[in-house]
Amino acid sequence: MVIVVALACLAACGRDHGSARVRPLPKKDGSPALRGGGAPKSPRIANYKIEARLDAERHQITATETVTWTNTGTSAVDKLPFHLYLNAFKNESTLFMQSSRGMMRGARAAAGNWGWIQVDSVQLAGSELVSRLAPTGPDETVAELTLPAPVEAGATIKLDLKFTAQLPEVFARTGYKGEFHLVGQWFPKLGVRIGPPGAERWECQPLAVTTEFFADFGTYDVSITVPNTYVVAATGVLTEATEAPGGTRTLVYHAEDVHDFVWMADPYMEMISGQAKVADGTVEVRVYARPEQKEFARRHLDAAVGAIMNFSAWFVPYPWPVMSIVDPPLEAAAGAGGMEYPTLVTTSGDTVFARPGLRLPEYVTVHEVGHNWFQGMLASNEAVEAWLDEGVNEWADGKVMDEMYGARTSGIDWMGWQAQVSALRRAVVDDPASVPSPIATAAYAFVDPDAYGEATYSTTARALATLEETVGPTKFAAAMKAYAQAWAFKHPTGRDLFEALSTSLEQDLTWFFSPVWQSVGGVKLGIRTATCRLAHPARGVFGTGGSRKTVTETEAPATGSYLCELVVTNTGTIHVPIDLELKFGDGSTQRLRCEDKGHGAWERFVIERSTPLVEVWLDPDNKLALDSPVSHHYRLEGDGGAALRASAWLASLTQTLMQIVGP
C-alpha cells in the first residue's frame, strides 16, 4: 500500500489546475439534521457553537467556541478536561510523535511544518479563566480547566473560548497539502465522564499513535468562513450560505447527535451525488474529488451508496440526511485518506494499479462509511476498546463487500483472478497466535502499532467470523442487529456486546469470549496420529480356571473392515467446535464434529469402515477464521506418522492459495 501511494504521489507531482475560480454559492440543504426531524437520539451532553475563519495561505484557523455541558452524573465536577489534539503535532517530544516516530500509514511528518492549538481565552459568565487552564499528562494534548465553583449533579455549565489552530502539513488524519485542507481534531473538545453513579471519572486520554477518539454526543452549530474560491464539505447539513467581505463566504452547518465535527476546504474539488435508499427514506451521498480523480469518484459513490443501504438493513438505519465522501488529492492521500467522522469520511486507493475489479478503492470507502455505525452511532471508547469499532467494523465490511460484489469476487474480479476480500486480509496478516497482546488490550498499551493493528482489526474480525460460523450466520446476524439497536448512541463497552450476544443467542458464551479477548494465542489445530488396521473380533485368553479359553486368529478372523483411529489436537488457547471431513479408500466421506469448548486439547475418534482412511480435512468449510490454515489437510501414507506430518505443510499451502484466489 505504501508503494502504491508513493507512486501515485509521484504521478501527481506538477499537476497544474490553473487559477482557482470563484465558486457558486452553495445551496442550503433544506433538510433537518436528522432524517424526518425526529426526537433526539442521544442525551446531548456536550453541545458546541463554533465560528471559524480559515487563513488559506497560513493554513491557520481563528475561532470562537461556546461549549455547553451538562453534568449527568451523580457527583459534582470541579475540573473540565479538554482535548487539544493538534498539539500532538507541535514538536518531536509529544506522545504521538514519540509513539509514531513521525510515521503513520506510510506517511512521514513534514519537517518544520508543525501543527498546534492555542486557547487564548476561556470565559464563564464574563469572567476570564484561561489562567486556570493547564496541560496535564505527558504533553499538551490534554488541558484541564479548574473551575471557580463545582458543577453539581444535573447542572449545566456554559463556557466561551477563543482559540487559534495551526494545521500541520497533512499527517495522521488532519492538515493541509498545497491548497487542500482537511480540518480534523481542530477545536478544544471535552472529555467524557464515565463510571458507575457516584464514582464517575473523566476519560480524556492524551493522543498517541494508536489512540483515536471518544466524546459525548451533542449538537454542533459551526460557522466557517473561507475564500470564495473554495469548496467545503462538513459534518451535518448546510443551513446558511452568505457572501462575506474580502472575497470570502461564510457557511453555517448544523449537526445533531454527533460527537465530532470535521470539514474539508479545497479550491479544485468537484462534487457528484447519488441516493441511498434505506427502510425509512433516502440518504444523499456526496463524493468530493478533484477532476483527475473523477473515474474513482464514481466508484467511491457506488460503494458508499451500497454500504449505507446494507449497513442500514443489517444494523440500524443511517439517521442523518447526508453522507459526504472526500477523496483527497493523490499527494495528500497517505496523510488524509481513510478516516472516519460523523457524516463525513475520507477515502483512498486511487492509483493506476486499482483497475476496475481490483477493489481497494471500494473497500476503503465501505470501511470508512461503516464507521458511521460502529464509531459514529455506537461510539465506544476507542482509547480503551478500539476493537469495538475497528474490529467489529472490519467483520461487517467483509459481509457488505460480499453482498455488493459477490462472495467469491468481493476483493478481486480482474482478468480471470478472483478473491474474497476477507480471504485476502486473512492471507496478508500474521497468525493471531503471533501477536503478543490480546484483543482486550487498551489501544495505548499495545507493544507496537503493528500488534495494535493485527489484534484490533484483523483478529477481532476473525474472532467474530469464527463465532458466526459456530452459532450459525442467521442467528448471529440477528444478535448483532439486536446489539446495534439496543446500544446506538449509548457508548457500549465490550461487556455490553458480549452480554447482548449471549442474551440473543440464548447461551453463555464465556467459553469463547474469555480466551479469545483476554488471552494471547489462537486456534492451533493438528492431527497427532491417524492410523488404520484390519478389524477383527478380540483375540487372546479369556476366562479363568476350567473356563479359560484361547481365541486365535483362526477363530477370530478379520472381518474385512478397517478400524481407524484419529487423534485431533488443539494446542492453542482458543477452543471451539471443530468440523472434520474424512475420506476413505473407496472415495466415500464422513463428517465428524469435535465439540471442544475448552474441555481439553485433544480428542480421539475411532471409526470402522470397509476401506481405510486416506485423507483428513480439519475445518473443511473454513469456519475457523481464527486459525492459520497451515495444517488443515492431511493425506495418510503408511502408518500415518512421519509421512503424514511431512506432507501437511505442502497440502495446507495449496489449500490456502485455493481459498484466496480462484481460477
| 334 Rama class: left (phi>0) / alpha (psi -120 to 50) / beta | alpha
Burial classification of residue 592, based on how many CB atoms lie within 10 Å of its CB (0-12 exposed, 13-18 middle, 19 or more buried): middle
Asked whether residue 509 falls in the same domain as residue 533, the answer is no
Number of structural domains (the chain) is: 3
Asked whether residue 132 falls in the same domain as residue 155, the answer is yes
Beta strand spans in 514-612 (E): 525-534, 540-542, 549-551, 562-570, 578-584, 589-594, 602-609
Count CA within 13 A, CB hemisphere, residue 43. 14
Secondary structure class of 447 (helix, strand, coil): coil
Please report whether residue 115 resides in a domain. yes
Predicted model pTM: 0.89
Asked whether residue 515 falls in the same domain as residue 532, the answer is no
Task: Write the CB contacts of 600 (distance below 8 Å, at least 6 apart in sequence).
Answer: none
Asked whether residue 183 falls in the same domain as residue 306, the answer is no
What's the CA gap between 521 and 575, in Å, rounded? 11
Domain boundary among 519, 551, 577: 519
What's 369's domain CATH number? Answer: 1.10.390.10
Asked whether residue 650 falls in the same domain as residue 538, the answer is yes
What's the CA gap between 67 and 413, in Å, rounded? 50
Asked whether residue 344 falls in the same domain as residue 486, the answer is yes
Compute the 3-state secondary structure of the chain and give helix, strand, coil in percent, each to the nearest 5.
30, 30, 40
Please report whether residue 61 resides in a domain. yes
Instruction: Supply the pLDDT for residue 78.
Output: 97
Please report whether residue 5 resides in a domain. no
The residue segments making up the domain with residue 261 are 33-267
What's the CA gap between 226 and 255, in Å, rounded? 19
- Do residues 86 and 166 touch, judged by C-beta distance below 8 A? yes
C-alpha separations of 505 from 473, 475, 483, 595 in Å: 11, 7, 11, 18
Instruction: Supply the pLDDT for residue 278.
Output: 96
Instruction: Supply the pLDDT for residue 307.
Output: 98
Asked whether residue 192 falls in the same domain as residue 72, the answer is yes
Secondary structure class of 19 (helix, strand, coil): coil
Instruction: Supply the pLDDT for residue 599.
Output: 57
Q: Give Dmax over CA atoms of the chain in angstroms.
A: 120
Instruction: Supply the pLDDT for residue 264.
Output: 98
Asked whether residue 300 falls in the same domain as residue 339, the answer is yes
The continuous run of DSSP H or E covering 194 comes out as: strand 192-194
C-alpha separations of 210 from 96, 346, 417, 457, 517 in Å: 9, 19, 35, 12, 18
Instruction: Supply the pLDDT for residue 424.
Output: 85
Asked whether residue 331 falls in the same domain as residue 263, the answer is no
Asked whether residue 353 falls in the same domain as residue 490, the answer is yes
Please report whether residue 359 resides in a domain. yes
What's 136's domain CATH number? Answer: 2.60.40.1730
Please report whether residue 22 resides in a domain. no
Please report whether residue 15 resides in a domain. no
The CA radius of gyration of the chain, in Å to the nearest whole number, is: 29
Instruction: Supply the pLDDT for residue 629.
Output: 63
List, for the chain, all residue ranges whose pLDDT scores fall below the cut of 50. Answer: 1-14, 639-663
In this structure, are strands 107-108 and 103-104 parallel, antiparallel, or unpaired?
A: antiparallel
Asked whether residue 358 falls in the same domain as residue 324, the answer is yes
Domain boundary among 472, 504, 519: 519
Q: What is the separation of C-alpha 568 from the centre of its chain, rounded to a whole number of angstroms?
A: 34
- For cell 449533579, name the residue: 153
What's 558's domain CATH number? Answer: 2.60.40
Asked whether residue 393 falls in the same domain as residue 431, the answer is yes
Closest among 567, 31, 542 to 282, alpha carbons compared: 31
Please report whether residue 76 resides in a domain. yes
Please report whether residue 7 resides in a domain. no
Instruction: Supply the pLDDT for residue 415.
Output: 92
Domain boundary among 233, 267, 301: 267
What's the CA gap between 371 and 379, in Å, rounded? 9
* Cell numbers that stand for 239 in this block: 443551513
Q: What are phi and psi of 457, to 5 degrees?
A: -90, -70
Task: Write the CB contacts of 602 (distance below 8 Å, at least 6 apart in sequence).
Answer: 528, 567, 568, 569, 570
